[in-house]
Structure 1
């Protein structure tokens, strides 16, 4: 890695430590950091102890009582423990407190020349122009700023609008389209970005441009976006990119599908930054051009060029810095089908990125990773596979075990069963405590939403992963890059005036959008639970009934609540949220004669209603039933 030349730019830092928080929030975060590790280790230890107890019981059981099902149940528990450890283990690389950064700004008129490249491909004209105006209205000397709209949609109307806007823009504004058919050009978004860089260099005179920013066409940036990011890049010559959190202004109340990136922004990314392994998560980034050259531009095969770009930079010795400020506001997909398509695109990008990085062990591309960075990359690369096993295959396997009607637990003595039941109950308590501790960092409701979203999305992602490895004759059409702004369905379920009827929504979402799987698995879980309850009622004595309950449906280590989370999109289909038209979510301002639109203050925070807490009722009821059965019905 070649270090850039030093410049005489002025950068100021305040005493404010980011992310900003009150004294109470800081105390809660300190408590969370202190308690998460012992709590997680205790959970894993309890799970391992349960596996040991189950295995011992099988070994000591009489030959006539040994069946395959208890052995498979032990294997199920082992895989559950292993996948959980693989998902969360990287966080143990953090020693001490997480990193905090000072608020940083590049000040004065002596600033470097910067390109802002806005990539688009057929999105709505108004959306693109709002982003362009915000980019042109940066608090930055106009002579040192150039905005380039890179259009893969071949939109003549957009080209005319950019030409007209360029006459009043305080900075240079350019339009560029590369050859090819709209929407199907080589390399998709990454190809557009590479082409835009080549074009920008071809029309630039003077010294080479040292910095460039990339924005998606639906991301409206704050006026100090450039000064904030460049401040970090100038202070740290070995930083190749600065990443800004992605925030959204059209999130629905209660965020029922978990479309926010709040937990990722304020928990995962902060911890990644502490390990010098921040993910480059797409729009709202400022690169050092030399870093892009070192990695030979953006990979055009991976489908999602962002995270792999950050991984490659780390592997080449560059730092990826995280700016702990909300400086950009974008749009999430406004319907279920678009949300699913977006996440499927992300998982394909992860799978292909893992191949490029050789799962973090590529000899040349990952040669300069520290052991902490390599650990983060390995966990990221195996993440889709681990999640598919943990959240799709294991719940299905458990239902198959239940369908066998055989006991899951072989217990030779009531005391042993009691011990295992207590361990299982403590595991459940620890899981809930972990959710609450995570909530101290980023909000309990958001933490619960992410867990729920990962569960119901997992079946779609599993199928996508399988298709990625199948030959074309079996996989069908390959996954293509479709810009998020063009992903939509005709249900318009969040538009109160135009949404389809509830019956049409249910039919389309269940049959065409894949919710039949969630309905089938959820119904199967309820049926098996009810069947087992009725089987327990056939026993003559209360002791035999309780023995049946604790060795079948409510065996230690079992979690039926995962099937409740699986039904979240069904509830969404029945009661979708309402979101106002986009323009009503924005406020108009005028900067240097340029009309700009930014999100209203009320749209800069997540909205929650009291109805969210009704979703917590299932686990409260479940634990209450277990306690009642244990203390009142099944007492010895």
Structure 2
């Protein structure tokens, strides 16, 4: 590399770093950094287009053109991303006091086959929204036509059960059917797992004072760890994979009146929905299509970037892949039925942003090209570009540095380029297949993946799901072996040394992401029936002999972990007795002590909630969700290096999970019982604790499913008429075993 080139590399890098550090304080530096990023990337791509296409053969030329097109496609997405992030945009709050008279609101909770305890949580929280009760109606729209759900709604009270005889148009049809039976001026859509905060309507409804506003969207926020966080033991290091879109990109889209409706946590003006014929049908992603149609002809949308409802992200990697496959196909279907470039009534920026959102789902095909390019060169001598190392560094390095720094500034530490690379590599094989099958086959291709809830009691690799990663890893490692043979033996395998170094770096970069994708495919067991929340709540434990001040440090619907500062008080807890727990929202909830241990001057106590009444359950939901502290908005990527993630995984993966250590002690038993589901099933409990049990059935084909709620009937006093949820199922020869989690008793 000659001196002028070296000066350029050093000078451009120093300039970009200076702009990066200045951009943290001054807006002009932020704009300058973004402009520099676009400029050096454009310079790199122009050089790539005119000087690097391979000329050594037709196959290399074809693959070189594919790689170049993938790079240009990524650059177009970068331009849109830069536009969205150019100037931070946040809506001003509008209180509901702007209304002279508050309007009527209908809450639609759409459900099909979700577990009833999850659904109960959402119904209860929806009824706790701060709003005049005579103007708020909650409807449970059950497309599963389940008698048990109807009974649940009736037992809660103040909510209405709706079902329909058929299931055409799935969720959209379900919501449209509810529209015909209700009359509220505004409609709230909630997924069955999304639990609203008490302030939901207070922070959103006021925006409808503008008669042109057709819908208001709040972000989907998730209280459980997604598969990337959970399977990598990285819950405290990285945010939920969807946070970046839900918080950053949606906020940027709002500036151009292009907020995307994401299916839940949204409010609609009924007349606006009626004007477009209700929720859009005929596509998988009816939410995206509905939002786009509601933004035509001068109608407005609003994004309120606050945590106003929290829900469950996919619990297993298999479920995440199914979800993304559905989103990918749905976006292509929307493009086919409502092309944003031809639909009437959209602005230029709205067309651009919706087209970019659809284009995004082609990332799987682009990423597969990036993954295969170095493998094809090292194994088959197929070139994807043709240049020398020094010239490549001259054009590529400034572009790479600029992209890293610009992304860090505009992502607000919610994501990094390297983690984006991991996410995209992990999803790429499946999203590429989804695009190809939807565009050319126009029919669903089913993935053979593990169902939610299966084998939750031990770690297991999703073998079929991980096959693409194992294949790509095998090819990559074979390529590296050939490179080793080239360098360590007299054999000369690669004639072009510059291209060898380029592709070696490239394959190592991809290899790291492939390893991470494989690690995510190793499902980590989930032992808890309900998510625990880290909290800091003052409480009071009370018995007939003593009151003990405590601090609740984690809390769920089924139990809590308490910290007692006074060792004398802790000695009282070691004694048997009946205790209740009280906080600001909880009043004398009966509890059972599960365990107690001391560390220095502090005692920790594990409790479970006993015989929960509906009143106590409502108080727990208020404490956890409706009035709970927002612990989600400020989550960032802190100490989230990929190396740390790999080392942490290797260190923790063989350890006994904390969830298992916190469970009550299991006792080996042999207790005959009957399980009452759709039919009566003879079974035997083989181990038992206060929180659940393992059962064995001689018939391996009994009709029970994960997440199903069943009743246990037996003569043993420990399990008389208990209700339980099926946590996992495993077939052993001709017999079937299942893990059951006891549900809290519901009092009066």
Do the two structures share a fold, i.e. TM-score over 0.5?
A: yes
Give the number of equivalent residue pairs: 535
Q: Give the structure 1 partner of residue 371 of structure 2.
A: 395
Partner of 1:567, secondary structure, is helix
Which residue of the other structure, out of 26, 42, 45, is the alignment partner of 1:44?
A: 42
Q: Give the structure 2 partner of residue 237 of structure 1.
A: 211
Q: Give the structure 1 partner of residue 89 of structure 2.
A: 99
Contact 1:131–1:221 (Cα < 8 Å) also in 2:
yes
Task: Report the CA distance shift for 1:561/1:377 in structure 2 as closer, same or farther (over 3 A).
Answer: same
User: Is the counterpart of residue 86 in structure 1 residue 110 in structure 2?
Assistant: no
Which residue of the other structure, out of 448, 463, 468, is the alignment partner of 1:510?
A: 463
Name the structure with the higher helix share: 1
Structure 2 unpaired stretches of 5+: 1-21, 534-554, 558-584, 588-613, 648-748
- TM-score after normalising by structure 1: 0.75
Q: Give the structure 2 partner of residue 550 of structure 1.
A: 498
**CA-based RMSD:** 3.5
Q: Give the structure 2 partner of residue 443 of structure 1.
A: 414
Contact 2:33–2:402 (Cα < 8 Å) also in 1:
no
Partner of 1:300, secondary structure, is coil
**How many Å separate the matches in 2 of 1:354 and 1:555?**
36
Q: Give the structure 1 partner of residue 341 of structure 2.
A: 361
Which residue of the other structure, out of 197, 207, 226, is the alignment partner of 2:179?
A: 197
**How many Å separate the matches in 2 of 1:346 and 1:409?**
33
Which residue of the other structure, out of 135, 144, 148, is the alignment partner of 1:153?
A: 144
Partner of 2:532, secondary structure, is helix
Which residue of the other structure, out of 409, 424, 433, is the alignment partner of 1:454?
A: 424
Partner of 1:301, secondary structure, is coil
Which residue of the other structure, out of 455, 461, 465, is the alignment partner of 1:491?
A: 455
Contact 1:119–1:193 (Cα < 8 Å) also in 2:
yes
Partner of 1:582, secondary structure, is coil
Contact 1:99–1:270 (Cα < 8 Å) also in 2:
yes
Q: Give the structure 1 partner of residue 643 of structure 2.
A: 614
**How many Å separate the matches in 1 of 2:385 and 2:441?**
41
Structure 1 unpaired stretches of 5+: 1-23, 60-65, 202-208, 480-485, 493-497, 619-636
User: Is the counterpart of residue 405 in structure 1 residue 371 in structure 2?
Assistant: no
> Larger relative CO (CA 8 A, sep 6+): 1 or 2?
1
Per-residue displacement from partner, 1:20-41 (whole Å, max 9, x unpaired)?
xxxx998488855552342133
Query: Shift of residue 237 of structure 1?
Result: 1.7
Per-residue displacement from partner, 1:369-394 (whole Å, max 9, x unpaired)?
11111111221223323x13211234
Contact 1:408–1:552 (Cα < 8 Å) also in 2:
no
User: Is the counterpart of residue 377 in structure 1 residue 354 in structure 2?
Assistant: yes
Query: Shift of residue 228 of structure 1?
Result: 1.2
Query: Shift of residue 429 of structure 1?
Result: 2.6
**How many Å separate the matches in 1 of 2:467 and 2:307?**
38
Task: Report the CA distance shift for 1:233/1:219 in structure 2 as closer, same or farther (over 3 A).
Answer: same
Contact 2:176–2:278 (Cα < 8 Å) also in 1:
yes
User: Is the counterpart of residue 254 in structure 1 residue 230 in structure 2?
Assistant: no
**How many Å separate the matches in 2 of 1:356 and 1:469?**
13
Partner of 2:619, secondary structure, is strand
Query: Shift of residue 294 of structure 1?
Result: 1.8
- TM-score after normalising by structure 2: 0.65
Task: Report the CA distance shift for 1:104/1:418 in structure 2 as closer, same or farther (over 3 A).
Answer: same
Task: Report the CA distance shift for 1:559/1:233 in structure 2 as closer, same or farther (over 3 A).
Answer: farther
Q: Give the structure 2 partner of residue 206 of structure 1.
A: none
Per-residue displacement from partner, 1:34-63 (whole Å, max 9, x unpaired)?
5234213322322322443325xx78xxxx
Task: Report the CA distance shift for 1:286/1:197 in structure 2 as closer, same or farther (over 3 A).
Answer: same
Partner of 1:303, secondary structure, is coil
**How many Å separate the matches in 1 of 2:169 and 2:198?**
31
Per-residue displacement from partner, 1:141-160 (whole Å, max 9, x unpaired)?
01111111101122212211
Name the structure with the higher strand share: 2
Query: Shift of residue 602 of structure 1?
Result: 8.4
Contact 1:120–1:150 (Cα < 8 Å) also in 2:
yes
**How many Å separate the matches in 1 of 2:444 and 2:203?**
45
Q: Give the structure 1 partner of residue 678 of structure 2.
A: none
Task: Report the CA distance shift for 1:402/1:562 in structure 2 as closer, same or farther (over 3 A).
Answer: same
